[in-house]
Amino acid sequence: MQTLSSFLQDHWVEGQAPFTALHNAATGQEIARCSSRGLDLAAALQHAREVGGPTLRAMTFAQRGQLLGRLSASVGAHRDELLDHSRLNMGTTRGDGKFDVDGASGTLAFYAKLGAQLGDRSFLLDGDQVQFSRSKRFVAQHILTPRTGVAIHINAFNFPAWNLSEKLAVAVLAGMPVLAKPGTATALLAVRMVELWQREGLLPPGVLQLLVGSAGDLLDHVGSQDAIVFTGSGATGQQIRGHKQVLALNVPVNIEADSLNACLLGPDVEPGSDTWTMFLAEVVREMTQKAGQKCTAIRRILVPQALLEQVREELVGRLADLRIGDPGDDGVILGPLAGPAQQRDVLAGIAEATKHAQVVWQGPLPLEGCFAPATLLQTERGIDAEYVNDHEVFGPVATLFAVSGQPAEAVAIVARGGGSLAASVFSDDVAWSRQVLLGIAPHTGRIYWGSAKVFDQGVGHGAVMPSLVHGGPGKAGGGEELGGERGLRFYSQRTAIQGDTQMLKAILG
Ligand code: NAP
């Protein structure tokens, strides 16, 4: 069996026993193993600080962008091979694999282009000059310079390619070297990507290291100039934020965690209309794409009582038509979950959810492999509904909420989720939408407004765009990634410099 190595201090190194198994999600069979035991993580972090950081800080944004552009091109050139790795280890259909792999190359390409636009600078100005009196001689300017430590990226299992690349793109463009740790269960794809980049000579020394296996004592060695970005469960996020070394040194931590994302149907929407069609297509896609293992997936569907029966019928019809099975087979839309641990979690989550909401429809469960049945639930209890308002079942599972259609009620239910990454609103009624959009905005990182005017144009509720922020308040982690140039700020120190106008100009341009 293949033993996956970590890429530390510019070399591939194997950890020691005991090993953790990686599985073929479609069959449940073991396909590889890995361990981080015995690896010198303190030395790895120091290598990034001493070698990778100075290299990147000596480069301009344009040069860092060129580096990212080469990584993006490499992912594109090896797309089919990477999709095979995704199918094998994660159980993705070709479409689901593309969402991850093309998302990776697209995000790297986006930040490559941003690097070209930022040009020959190596740090950013933040805002305009500040003048203190009538005299223009003594002024101040805020600047953003890259932190001199390591960007430590701890990723979830569900997007091994995109999660690695989206965080890497922003940190590298900002000027920080990266130590990335993929979710162990699906690390195969991340390992293959870094192997390709390294063999093609695309990684300057110390700029990217990959830790495969558990985080071990990694956080015991963080320094005050490091930055931690985490994607995963809220419970792990809290452990990381509360780590004694992280607290003692005030190391910045960005967290993307659990999210009870909602989708709201407006009372104005006519069955059969374009907006209706968009709404149904989004709900089905969000329940089934990547077998529902998306942090942005729709978990709560708010439907006015008057439209509920028809929505339910149409959703059940569409879900019942979907083929579930081996992700390599043509026509299969719903593949397995990423592995046995994920299957255990989701089946337990479905069992618990059905104690709090009625099952409207449940799909078949293949006998072999790490599958979960697509499950549509329903509740009339609104903000009082337990479990389905609190707990994210990370699989093909969503709950219909029967609501009145009043904006205030919809806002209260969205808020009851405790903070979300994404929400979608489907309505052509601007007055209703205004109340809902502005009401749910404080509870939500991104809102997708579907209407007849954008029929066939929207990118979809679940797609994270590199130009837009990704993150959400409260339960969703309170973090923010991407967002174009906004994302660079997390990896930078903002400093106000006061002095003579002309002398400052000589340094800052
Ligand atoms: P997880 O168990 O929290 O693991 C996430 C990452 O943290 C993995 O790389 C994991 O390593 C690592 N980790 C675990 N314990 C750690 C510790 N004490 N110190 C440092 N790192 C530690 O989450 P997951 O199972 O991968 O993902 C599932 C959950 O994440 C879902 O329930 C979903 O809600 C959430 N999620 C959120 C987003 C988002 O963008 N907001 C995206 C995806 C998933 P190992 O793999 O080695 O355990």
| Tally of CB atoms within 10 A around 409 | 16
Amino acid at position 9, single letter: Q
From 37, 107, 154, 390, mutation site for ligand 1 pocket: most ligand atoms within 8 A of C-beta = 154
Q: Name residue 453's amino acid.
A: K
pLDDT of residue 329: 86
157 Cα–ligand 1 center, Å: 7
The 3-state DSSP class for residue 104 equals: helix
List the alpha helices (DSSP H) in 354-452.
407-416, 430-440
Among the listed residues 387, 403, 96, 105, the one whose alpha carbon sits nearest the alpha carbon of residue 260: 387
Rounded CA-CA distance 8/5 in Å is: 9
Per the CB < 8 A criterion, the answer to whether 252 and 240 are in contact is no
Please state the separation of Cα 275 from the chain's center in Å.
Answer: 27
Residue nearest to atom 47 of ligand 1 (CA): 214
3-state secondary structure of 225: coil
Order of strands, sheet of 178-181, starting from the edge strand that comes earlier in the sequence: 11-13, 6-8, 208-210, 178-181, 151-154, 227-231, 253-256
Using the mean position of ligand 1's atoms as its centre, give its distance from the Cα of residue 257 in Å.
Answer: 8
Q: Which of 222, 233, 241 has most ligand 1 atoms within 8 Å of CB, for mutation?
A: 233
- What is the identity of the amino acid at 278? M
Place of tokens 């293992």: 293
Report the alpha-carbon distance of residue 399 to residue 358 in Å, rounded: 9
Calpha distance 336→342 (Å, rounded): 10
Assign domain 261-465 to its CATH architecture: 3-Layer(aba) Sandwich (3.40)
How many angstroms separate the CA atoms of 297 and 461, rounded?
A: 8
Distance (Å, whole) CA 319 – CA 153: 36
Q: Is residue 23 left, alpha or beta, with left meaning phi > 0 and alpha meaning psi from -120 to 50? A: beta
Ligand 1 centroid – CA 354 distance (Å): 25
Could you give the CA distance from residue 12 to residue 452 in angstroms, rounded to a whole number? 52
- Choosing from 231, 342, 346, 444 the residue with most ligand 1 atoms within 8 A of its CB, the one to mutate for a pocket test is 231
Structure tokens at 294: 């998306």
- Which atom of ligand 1 lies nearest, measured to the CA of 477? 41
59-78 burial, b if ≥16 CB within 10 A, otherwise e?
A: bbbbebbebbbbbbbbbbeb
Q: 55 CA distance to ligand 1 centroid (A)?
A: 30
Looking up tokens 């990686």 gives: 22
Q: Which amino acid is at 187?
A: A
Nearest CA to ligand 1 atom 27: 232
Please give the Cα distance from 209 to 47 (Å, whole number).
Answer: 9
Q: Say how far apart CA 347 and CA 394 lie, in whole Å.
A: 10
What would you measure as the largest C-alpha separation in the chain, in angstroms? Answer: 79
CA distance 277 to 281: 6
- Please identify, by atom number, the ligand 1 atom nearest to the C-alpha of residue 185: 46
Angle at 83 between CA 80 and CA 87, to 5 degrees: 140
List ligand 1's pocket residues with C-beta within 6 A.
Answer: 154-158, 181, 183-185, 214-215, 231-233, 236, 239-240, 256-259, 295, 392, 394, 421, 477
- Residue 344 CA to residue 20 CA, distance in Å, equals 17
* Edge-to-edge strand list for the sheet holding 124-131: 124-131, 138-146, 492-500
Q: Which pair of tokens denotes residue 229?
A: 């970005």
Q: In the structure encoding, which two tokens stand for residue 269, read together?
A: 């929407």
> Distance, CA 31 to ligand 1 centroid (Å)?
21
Closest protein CA for atom 30 of ligand 1: 232
Strand partners, 139: 131, 499
457 alpha carbon – ligand 1 mean position (Å): 33
Q: Which of 186, 236, 289 to mutate to test the pocket of ligand 1 (most atoms within 8 A of CB)?
A: 236
Residues in the chain where the model's pLDDT stays below 70: none
Q: Are strands 208-210 and 178-181 parallel, antiparallel or unpaired?
A: parallel
Q: Which alpha helices (H) appear in 289-401, and where do they start and end?
A: 305-321, 340-353
Candidates 403, 441, 387; CA nearest to 419 is 441
Name the residue ranges covered by the structural domains of the chain.
Answer: 2-257+479-508, 261-465
Beta bridge partners of 423: 262, 447
pLDDT of amino acid 369? 86
Domain 2-257+479-508 has CATH 3.40.605.10: yes
Query: What is the pTM assigned to this prediction?
Result: 0.94
Locate the ligand 1 atom nearest the alpha carbon of residue 258 and give its number.
34
467 alpha carbon – ligand 1 mean position (Å): 24
By CB atoms closer than 10 A (0-12, 13-18, 19+), residue 252 is middle
What residues are annotated to the active site?
A: 256, 295
Residues 6+ apart with CB under 8 A from 341: 185
Three-class DSSP category at 291:
helix
Q: 221-244, pLDDT tens digit by residue?
A: 999 999 999 999 999 999 999 999
Ligand 1 atom closest to the CA of 20, numbered from 1: 47
Q: Where are the beta strands (DSSP E) in 275-386?
A: 300-304, 323-324, 332-334, 358-362, 375-379
pLDDT in tens, 27-51: 888 999 999 999 999 999 999 999 9
Q: What is the pLDDT of residue 384?
A: 96
